[in-house]
Structures are given as structure tokens and as C-alpha cells.
């Protein structure tokens, strides 16, 4: 029997990056993180804390450092095994910034100007429309292409970035040959789309500043308070109907994801009880769902030496892979070898 894995048997690579510009949410966990745990058995997974992306908007230095460590601790607490997954901080792998500059020379102004997220962020940060805010999709392309990524877990709002990444890779490959793997957007089969508790037609976002968001490290009393304030409707029936009852349907989705119950079971459980009991029960289910995550993350955050070891080892593994691609790129475009 051969000792090496044949090319046909090699695992595909998954890459995903999340900014440390806000705390991870219940939506992050139910919609993505919980599903990432099982992917390591089938794929080579790299999960990056993208601090370079975070500074397109001003961040207090102490806060961004704290959030990087907190996010790493939460990743591990959510079940991402640092032995099976490569967990690292983006700025610890210089190849991200280096490849980003090269790719910016193969990215068209018109392509960047059409990015919907730039328009949205420019509106929200009118006093700080910096070049990084405009060119960050090229850095995102570098993040993905550095690792010869096959699959990128994305939501609907990020598909445009993967398409731009593919356009850049296709342009570069067309000039220099087969350099980059062509990435594909990846949407896991299982994943709950969690909406804001106060704006149930909008996705729950870590940038929310109101009570519409529940964070993984929230205290139980804060979680219960948020669910008691959740928007429902003037009716009193617990029934799944996205068009007529978006708030109730969102709460049902959360409860189903937290408990494994079907919508039919939930409707039967709360028949004739009204929204007060329903919201309290959903809140309590979320408290118990997040309790072990919060407790483990808090324990990990007290062990800075362990977290340092994890992000250092992760960066070393990522650097090895990234530099293989960067050396190939530099050779193709004609840079003198070191």
C-alpha cells in the first residue's frame, strides 16, 4: 500500500476569514461556526481572523487586540479543533499583504467601484472613505488565492467577492498560466439564517448596536432580556410564516436550531400560550446552548500562553502554504528570487 495520498484522494481546501471588529453572534454560530466543526474531517480548513480588513474602519488598538484573542478563544470553544483546523491571525502572515499588492495591479478600477459593500460602507463612514475601504476586495482575493482554496463559505452578501476573486484569478492565469486554483462559493447543507430580534427582515449582525443581536459571550440575563424584547406581531399564534410573521418565524428558527425540534412540534408546544411564554422559552434554550461556549471561552482567555501557542502554530502552518503560492507568483511576474 502506498504511504502517500494520491492527488485524487487529497482533501479540498476551505478558507474563511472573519473580522475582529465586533463580537461573534448567535447568528455567526448557528449559521456558520457550528457547521464548520464537522468540515475538518472532509476538508483542509483554514480559519483566519482578518485584522487587516478590520482597520478600514478606525479601531481602538487595545480593542482590536482583545477581540482577536477573544475570537480565537470562541472559535475553539465552539468546537474548532486547532489540531484539525489551521487557526491564525491575518497580520501574522505577511504574504496576505504582499499578494494583495500584486493582485491590485491585476484588478480593474471599474470592478472595485461596482462592489456593493463599498458603496454601503462608504455611506456609513462618510468621514473616512479611505483607499483600503475601496481596495479591500483585492486583499480578500489574496486571502483566498494564497491557499489554493477550493471552497469559500459565504452568505449571499459575500458571493460578489468570490466572483471578483475568480475574475482576478482567471485574468492572472490567462497571462501566466495555471497559477491559482479557481475558488467556488460554498454554502453548507445545514445552516440556520438568523435574523435580528428587533428587525427580523435583516440578518443578525455583529455590527448591531441595539438589542437585536445576541452575542456568544453574553450573560444569561442579557440574553433573556433580548428575547423578551424581540419583535413579534399583533397576533398571538406561534406559527411559521416568513411573509406575515417574520419575527415569530425567526424565533421559531432559533428555537429549532437550539433544540432540534421541528416547526410542527414548536407550533404544537405553544398552541394557545401566546408570545410571552414562547419568547421566554426560546431565550432559555439559547442560554443553555451558549452556556458551555461562554464558559469555555472565558477559561481559554485566562490562558494567554495557550492562545499564543495556537495562533503561532497556526500562522506557521499558514505561512508555509502561503509562501509556496507567493514564490510561484513572484517567479511568474519576473521578480528576482531571494
* Separation of alpha carbons 306 and 124, rounded Å: 38
What distance, in Å, lies between the first and last C-alpha atoms of the chain?
39
Is 203 a residue of the active site? yes
* Residue in 229, 222, 233, 277 with CA at minimum distance from that of residue 255: 277
DSSP string for 111-127: HHHT-HHHHHHHHHTGG
Is 121 a residue of the active site? yes
Is residue 279 within 8 Å of residue 228, measured between CB atoms? yes
DSSP string for 135-204: HHHHHHHHHHHTTT-SEEE--GGGHHHHHHHHHHHHHHHHHHSS-S---EEE--SS---PBPSSSTTSB-
Q: Which of 19, 84, 121, 338 is catalytic?
A: 121
* Separation of alpha carbons 35 and 49, rounded Å: 18
Helix (H) or strand (E) holding 99: helix 95-104
Helix, strand, coil: what percent of the chain each, to 5?
Answer: 55, 10, 35
| Strands lying side by side in the sheet with 184-186 | 85-89, 43-49, 12-18, 151-153, 184-186
Is 245 a residue of the active site? no
* Separation of alpha carbons 17 and 50, rounded Å: 6
Q: Which of 84, 119, 203, 324 is catalytic?
A: 203
* Separation of alpha carbons 129 and 123, rounded Å: 9
Q: List, in order, residues 6 or more apart from 287 with CB less than 8 Å away.
A: 220, 223, 224
Q: Which of 119, 124, 206, 332 is catalytic?
A: 206
Q: Which three cell numbers stand for residue 249?
A: 418565524
Please name the residue that has the C-alpha cell 482577536: 68
Q: Which residues are catalytic?
A: 121, 203, 206
Amino acid at each position: 500500500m502506498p504511504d502517500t495520498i494520491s492527488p485524487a484522494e487529497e482533501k479540498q481546501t476551505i478558507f474563511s476569514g472573519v473580522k475582529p471588529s465586533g463580537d461573534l453572534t448567535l447568528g455567526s454560530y448557528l449559521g456558520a461556526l457550528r457547521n464548520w466543526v464537522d468540515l475538518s474531517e472532509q476538508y483542509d480548513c483554514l480559519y483566519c481572523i482578518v485584522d487587516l480588513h478590520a482597520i478600514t474602519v478606525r479601531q481602538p488598538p487595545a480593542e482590536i487586540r482583545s477581540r482577536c484573542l477573544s475570537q480565537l478563544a470562541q472559535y475553539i470553544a465552539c468546537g474548532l479543533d486547532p489540531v484539525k483546523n489551521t487557526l491564525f491571525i491575518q497580520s501574522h502572515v505577511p504574504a496576505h499583504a504582499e499578494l494583495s499588492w500584486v493582485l491590485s495591479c491585476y484588478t480593474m478600477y471599474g470592478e472595485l467601484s461596482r462592489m456593493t459593500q463599498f458603496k454601503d460602507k462608504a455611506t456609513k463612514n462618510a468621514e473616512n472613505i479611505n483607499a483600503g475601504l475601496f481596495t479591500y476586495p483585492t486583499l480578500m482575493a489574496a486571502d483566498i488565492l494564497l491557499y489554493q482554496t477550493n471552497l469559500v463559505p459565504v452568505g449571499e452578501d459575500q458571493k460578489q467577492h468570490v466572483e471578483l476573486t475568480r475574475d482576478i484569478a482567471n485574468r492572472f492565469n490567462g497571462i501566466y498560466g495555471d497559477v491559482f486554483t479557481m475558488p467556488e462559493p460554498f454554502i453548507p447543507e445545514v445552516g440556520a439564517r438568523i435574523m435580528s430580534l428587533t428587525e427580523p427582515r435583516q440578518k443578525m449582525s455583529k455590527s448591531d448596536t441595539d438589542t437585536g443581536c445576541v452575542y456568544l459571550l453574553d450573560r444569561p440575563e442579557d440574553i433573556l432580556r433580548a428575547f423578551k424584547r424581540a419583535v413579534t406581531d399583533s397576533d398571538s399564534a406561534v406559527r411559521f410564516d416568513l411573509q406575515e410573521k417574520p419575527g415569530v418565524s425567526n424565533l421559531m428558527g432559533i428555537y429549532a436550531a437550539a433544540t432540534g425540534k421541528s416547526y410542527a412540534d414548536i407550533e404544537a408546544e405553544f398552541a394557545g400560550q401566546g408570545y410571552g411564554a414562547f419568547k421566554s422559552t426560546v431565550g432559555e434554550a439559547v442560554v443553555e446552548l451558549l452556556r458551555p461556549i461562554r464558559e469555555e471561552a472565558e477559561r481559554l482567555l485566562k490562558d494567554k500562553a495557550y492562545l499564543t501557542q495556537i495562533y503561532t502554530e497556526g500562522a506557521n502552518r499558514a505561512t508555509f502554504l502561503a509562501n509556496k503560492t507567493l514564490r510561484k507568483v513572484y517567479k511568474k511576474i519576473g521578480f528576482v528570487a531571494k
